[in-house]
Amino acid sequence: MTDLSLELLEEAPERLLEQLAAIHRNAFEAIGQQGWSASQIGSTLRHEGGFAVVAHGEGQARGFILIRVAAGEAELITVAVHPSAHRSGVARALVAAARMRLEAEGAETLFLEVRSDNVPAIALYEKLGFSRAGLRAGYYKTTAGERIDALMYQLDLG
């Protein structure tokens, strides 16, 4: 994407939350998972230490990342890119922007959990230098009732 711009937010108007929910729904439905509603995204953002980076391109929001930080430890809560913008470096740019903000405020580690069947997300995290930090067996339950492991990853900052 040639005109990608990134916006750092600690709160978002309802109209933007609706756009982010549409991105989340499209991104997660493409991998057979359910996306979040605008109010779920809004309440996560309002948590203490929460912030988002939104990527805009070609006149609209294309993807976003939600982070929460407390006592020097940060968690990547979710990242989603609209399927029409996949593989154009949007997620890479979102993680880089979040990382810059976290390093500026002195956070030491960025943690995340991902379903073990989420091949694109695992490829992204490994490409960006996250390392495997553990596994929670059967942590996720699919709509069909199947149990799927969670993989935990971490990235040392600073």
Ligand X SMILES: CC(C)(COP(=O)(O)OP(=O)(O)OC[C@H]1O[C@@H](n2cnc3c(N)ncnc32)[C@H](O)[C@@H]1OP(=O)(O)O)[C@@H](O)C(=O)NCCC(=O)NCCS
* Residue 123 vs residues 75, 116, 139: alpha-carbon distances, Å: 18, 11, 20
Q: Per CB under 6 A, does 49 bind ligand X?
A: no
Q: Per CB under 6 A, does 157 bind ligand X?
A: no
Sign of CA dihedral 85, 90, 91, 92: positive
Nearer to ligand X, 79 or 107 (CB): 79
Token readout for 37 is 């509603």
| # binding residues, ligand X (CB under 6 A) | 20
Q: Which residues contact 143 (CB under 8 A, 6 or more apart)?
A: 34
Start-to-end Cα distance in the chain:
28
Pick the catalytic residue: 10, 75, 113, 140? Answer: 113
| Least distance from ligand X to the Cβ atom of residue 88, Å | 5
Nearer to ligand X, 106 or 123 (CB): 123
Site for ligand X in 80-109 (CB under 6 A): 80-81, 86-92
Q: What residues are annotated to the active site?
A: 113, 125
